[in-house]
Amino acid sequence: MHVLVTGAKGQLGRALRRQLEEGLAPRGWEGALVDWADLDELDVSCSEAVDAWFAAHGPYDVVFNCAAMTNVDGCETNFDLAFAANALAPLYLARACAACGATLVHVSTDYVFPGTDPRPRSEDDVPRPISAYGRSKLAGEGLARSANPKTHVVRTAWLYGEGRNFVATMLRLAQNHDQVTVVNDQLGNPTCADDLAHELLRIAQTTSYGIWHCTNEGTCSWADLAEEAFRLAQVGCKVVRCTSEEWKQMTPGAASRPAYSSLENAHLSATIGNGMRSWQEALRDYLNRQQEQRG
């Protein structure tokens, strides 16, 4: 099997590498030949670069698109860049995949939903993003699926893994602060990159193309997540809870976020089985692994 992973140096790209190179992947991935490409090697927002890469390195059986512009606030101020990275890039990859018969696994986001209805959203619910980031990602979903019928769009949420993420930021701030202010009225599903990577590999083995939701189980607020991370890491830092409105007053340039963006893994449950564990269990294992790596 010949595989391409874009965004290889990001949190999810690193998690996929760990799955595939450390014997953690599901059955069927043994001996896969994987090309790892990040922005410095392949600019997926350039159609000529994508075509040249596929001509030189392809054909592929599966392509995992983990590349994206995930700076939610930055997308508001530079929508052209966000649209190129989050909408045009999956289109170009989908076209290249279609030309060689490859399956595309494209990662999307819970931010395609407005978060106005306090119930977990299934894959059948109608998206209506309220941020530039969400709009660019939703466009990418549609463009990818229109260009290649063998496309899995996998929405996830609140991702953390190796690299910059909310959990790592909270623990870093806790080293020098007695308290941190965290939003308490935005609810969603914290998701471990390792868990998501494993499910992406399972999804890629199916022909049930379309939209998938894939998050760790359970819903919490950003403040809840920070408090649980501090508790598990045995950090004596207090979480001061605030509202989204109060946070906007403190950071006027912040983009609007969904108030309730929890996802339901309905497609997984109805097909190959929902293998995603609780967010608390996943967070505990993630922090334990971080501690082991630090020695």
Question: What residues are annotated to the active site?
Answer: 133
Of the candidates 193, 218, 204, the residue with the CA atom closest to the CA atom of residue 277 = 218
Cβ of 214: how many Cβ atoms within 10 Å? 26
Which candidate, 193, 121, 125, 189, places its Cα nearest to that of 157? 189
* Residue 237 in tokens: 């830092």
Q: Give dist(CA 221, CA 208) in Å, integer.
A: 32
